[in-house]
Amino acid sequence: MKVPMNWRRAMGAAAMALSVLGGGAVLGLAGPAMAQTGATKDAPDYSKMQKRDLIVFTSGNQVEGVVLSETDTQVHFLLMIGGIRSETTYDKSTILEIKRNEFKPKETKDGDKSEVKDESAPVMSSSSGNSYDHPVDDKGKPIPAGATKVYIMNLTGEFGHDVSNTPMKEAMDDVVKAQPDVLIVRFNNDFSLNGEETADYGIDLYQYDVLEKARELDTLLMDRINLGGEFKKKPHVVAWINKALGGAAFLPFTIPDIYFTSEGRLGSLGVMETLFAGMGDEVVRQKQRSLRVGRAKGLCAKGGHDERLMNAMSWGAYVLSYRIVGGKVEFYEGMPPGPDWFLLKDDGFVNEAHRDTLQDRVRLKGNDFLTLDAPTAFNIGFSKGTADTVDDLLAKMGITRNYALMKTKSPEIWKDWSRNIDKAEADVTRLIREFRAVEVKPPAQYEQRTEARGRRIRLLEQIKSIVKVYREAINPRKVGSPDGLIDQLDITIDRIKTEQTLDRRP
């Protein structure tokens, strides 16, 4: 039987992983799971650094210090005000100019100019030799100047697992370099969560757990385009929906222009009334539901879509109808009040009289939950059109000639990530197995026990390093909640070290 929240799943899975590690006795899980920064361990000694660079902001403000690192969008800076040093990060969009080596290093007593160790140098230099300086199409032919450059980003696999922050950031880095005129984000995701697939006609009550992931991805995708200032001309972004069910349905809402394939479906977000069911007080359950729907409606509003659609996709008891008047859609929160109205979603989830038949559900004709198909999405103005090929899609967008589909790194980026995350999960599972297999049978000698502990620690350190890299997307059902797991790994390592300290040579 499922438990009603992701964190419960995660905690349960973490406990499971820990028991696998054999450290259950004193490893409390009472505290909230917290991520480790791990940032300070190898940090350079900032106190010895001298003022070197000057940043001038678009506001006219200036700050002095050392550029520690930079990406295409941000500058990590050691701010120096008098004797105070503080690390901070600035968005490049706020920066007018970075004056490097503006300040000469002070001379030391013996006359040598003191040198700041080059550990403060940027770790990622600004791009040079951009492979998109001479863009080619998907067949490798040069794209002529003046042609509309079309970049396609295919999002496949499980949302939150295969579609996650790191590959999205990398893919968007590529989009920035490519500077396309049109960015098509194609959604064709599995309807699954933590590796468990749900039938298209089904409803996974826990898909709302992916909302926060969608909010993060939105900042990497749409905020970067709209707020980042990295595009000479902002690309026209469109969402192209083939299958966006469950958590994958949130992100398209942030994109104003949406198209469907003829088989396209978007929705199946779950049922708010079941969230936290049976736990705590009703008012607290309502609070938890309210804030989630509020945030989801925020995504909806961001893309300029009607927030009532998010209500309809979230609440089982919510009823929504619509009609077309003068080519415009009108919504009504209730059963159709007249013959010119169409029912979009009823309250069949809570009202037996309106409940879908099994036959209808399986044939994707139910209306107890709102999942938009291509015709309905178009009728209510959510979708701007239906297209099954890129050419059709571009034609619907009004681009009928002189365009080119760009050859990009996007397919490689997403494919690599999916492969690596799968490998990471498999590696962790294997390492746990190997950890458990390290045995020292009595009467073992001190040296054998010491060697075994050393091996166990090395295995745990390997697990930790993998989890740290892939924590954002790792399946908690396979290896436990990544954050909780890292803490527990640390404690288990500590325990082994303590055992070693307490051990005595005979």
Partner 1 sequence: MRIGFFFKALAMTLALAGSVAMASRAMADRIILKDGTVLEGKITREGERFYFITVKIGGIEQNKFVNRDDVKSIERDSAPAPDPAAAVKAPDAAPEAAAKEGEHHSGATRLALLHFGPPNSWHGTVENMVGRDIGVRAFREVVPLLEKDKVDIVVIAVNSGGGMSLEMPKFQDLFEKVYKPKFRTVAWIESAISAAAMAPWPIEEYYFTPSGNMGACTEFNMSNLVATKGAPLEEILFRMEKVSGWGKKDPAIMRAMQIMSPLSVDIDSNGEVHWRADEDGQVVLNHKDKIFTITASDAVKYKFARGIAATQEELVKAMGLQEAEWVAQDATDFVDKSLRDNDAAFKAFNKLFEEYEFHIGLAQQLPDKQQRSIELARAKKLLAELKSKLSLNAVFPLFVGATPEWFKEQEDLIKKLAELP
| Residues forming the site for partner 1 (CB under 8 A) | 25-28, 30-32, 34-37, 40, 57, 59-61, 63, 79, 81, 86-89, 91, 165, 215-216, 218-220, 223, 226-227, 254, 276, 279-291, 293-295, 297-299, 301-302, 307, 487, 490-491, 494-495, 498, 501-502
C-alpha closest to that of 424 among 506, 484, 479: 479
Min dist. Cβ of residue 126 to partner 1 (A) = 19
Q: Select 1 or 26, whichever has its Cβ closest to partner 1.
A: 26
C-alpha closest to that of 192 among 236, 161, 235: 161
Find the radius of gyration of the CA atoms of the chain.
27
Supply the DSSP symbol for 41.
Answer: T
Give the integer Cα–Cα distance in Å for 394 and 230.
24
Min dist. Cβ of residue 292 to partner 1 (A) = 9
What token pair was written down for 201?
Answer: 């006609």
What token pair was written down for 185?
Answer: 């984000």
Give the integer Cα–Cα distance in Å for 346 and 333.
10
Q: Select 215 or 396, whichever has its Cβ closest to partner 1.
A: 215
Q: Select 19 or 130, whichever has its Cβ closest to partner 1.
A: 19
Min dist. Cβ of residue 295 to partner 1 (A) = 5
Residue with tokens 């009040």: 337
236 Cβ partners below 8 Å, 6+ apart? 181, 182, 183, 257, 397
- For residues 155 and 189, the answer to whether their CB atoms sit within 8 Å is yes
Min dist. Cβ of residue 119 to partner 1 (A) = 20
Give the integer Cα–Cα distance in Å for 175 and 152.
9
Min dist. Cβ of residue 88 to partner 1 (A) = 5
Q: Select 29 or 147, whichever has its Cβ closest to partner 1.
A: 29
Q: Select 79 or 457, whichever has its Cβ closest to partner 1.
A: 79
Q: Select 172 or 238, whichever has its Cβ closest to partner 1.
A: 172
Min dist. Cβ of residue 66 to partner 1 (A) = 15
Q: How distant is the alpha carbon of residue 247 from its chain centre?
A: 11
Q: Select 213 or 243, whichever has its Cβ closest to partner 1.
A: 213
What token pair was written down for 62?
Answer: 């200036």
Residue with tokens 């998109």: 132
Q: How distant is the alpha carbon of residue 7 from its chain centre?
A: 17
Q: Select 114 or 351, whichever has its Cβ closest to partner 1.
A: 351
The secondary element (H helix, E strand) that includes residue 248 is: none
Give the integer Cα–Cα distance in Å for 492 and 496.
6
Whether the upstream peptide bond of residue 235 has omega within 30° of 0, thus cis, is: no
Min dist. Cβ of residue 482 to partner 1 (A) = 13
Q: Select 79 or 136, whichever has its Cβ closest to partner 1.
A: 79
Question: Burial, 282: exposed, middle or buried (Cβ in 10 Å; 0-12, 13-18, 19+)?
Answer: exposed
Min dist. Cβ of residue 357 to partner 1 (A) = 29
Min dist. Cβ of residue 368 to partner 1 (A) = 20
Min dist. Cβ of residue 155 to partner 1 (A) = 18
What token pair was written down for 414?
Answer: 């997403």
Q: Select 77 or 187, whichever has its Cβ closest to partner 1.
A: 77
Give the integer Cα–Cα distance in Å for 352 and 361.
15
What token pair was written down for 282?
Answer: 């009703």
Q: How distant is the alpha carbon of residue 163 from its chain centre?
A: 6
